[in-house]
Amino acid sequence: MAARHFLTLADLDSTELEALLRRAAELRALHHAGSLHEPLRGRVLGMIFEKSSTRTRVAFEAGMAQLGGSAIFLSPRDSQLGRGEPIEDTARVLCSMVDAVMIRTFAHENVERFASACRVPVINGLTDDHHPCQLLADLQTWQAHRGAITGRTVAWMGDGNNMCRSWMQAAERMGFQLHIGCPADYIPADLDAYPATRHIIDPEEAVKGVDLVVTDVWASMGMEEEQATRLAAFRPYQVNEAIMAEAADDALFMHCLPAHRGEEVSAAVIDGPQSVVWEEAENRLHAQKALLEWLIAGTA
Pairing of strands 212-215, 70-74: unpaired
Among 53, 70, 79, 240, binds ligand CP (CB under 6 A): 53
Q: Which of 163, 265, 270, 276 forms a contact with ligand NVA (CB under 6 A)? A: 163
Specify whether the CB–CB gap between 197 and 174 falls below 8 A: no
Strand ranges for the chain from DSSP E: 44-49, 70-74, 100-104, 122-124, 153-157, 177-181, 197-200, 212-215, 252-255
Site string for ligand NVA, 240-269 (x = CB under 6 A): ----------------x-------------
Backbone angles phi, psi at 156, to 5 degrees: -95, 120
Q: How many beta carbons lie within 10 A of that of residue 292, not counting itself?
A: 29
**How far apart are alpha carbons 191 and 288 in whole angstroms?**
27
CA angle in degrees (0–180, nearest 5) for 289-148-176: 105
**Among ligand NVA, ligand CP, none, residue 8 binds (CB under 5-8 Å by kind):** none
Question: Shortest Cβ distance from residue 24 to ligand NVA (Å)?
Answer: 19
Catalytic residues: 104, 131, 134, 216, 256, 284
Taking CB under 6 A as the criterion, the residue among 161, 197, 275, 288 binding ligand NVA is 161
Minimum distance of ligand CP from residue 9's CB (angstroms): 15
Cα–Cα distance between 109 and 86 in angstroms, integer?
A: 13
**Among 9, 102, 121, residue whose Cα is nearest residue 57:** 102
**How far is Cα 49 from Cα 81, in angstroms, rounded to an integer?**
11
Strand partners, 254: 214
Q: Does residue 139 belong to the site contacting ligand CP (CB under 6 A)?
A: no
Site string for ligand NVA, 112-151 (x = CB under 6 A): --------------x-------------------------
Does 235 carry a binding-site annotation?
no
Binding site annotation covers 54?
A: yes
- Contact between 56 and ligand CP (CB under 6 A)? yes
13 is annotated as contributing to ligand binding: no
C-alpha dihedral sign at 136, 292, 21, 144: negative
Residue 130 interacts with ligand CP (CB under 6 A): yes or no: no
Nearest-CA neighbor of 161 among 192, 190, 129, 121?
129
Count the residues of the shown chain that bind ligand NVA, applying the rule CB under 6 A: 9
Contact call for residue 61 and ligand NVA (CB under 6 A): no
**Is 171 an interacting residue with respect to ligand NVA (CB under 6 A)?**
no
Least distance between ligand NVA and beta carbon 248 (Å): 25
Backbone angles phi, psi at 140, to 5 degrees: -60, -45
Residues that bind ligand NVA (CB under 6 A): 126, 161-163, 216-217, 220-221, 256
Binding-site annotation, residues for L-ornithine: 162, 216, 220-221
Residues that bind ligand CP (CB under 6 A): 53-56, 126, 134, 256-257
Binding-site annotation, residues for carbamoyl phosphate: 53-56, 80, 104, 131-134, 256-257, 284
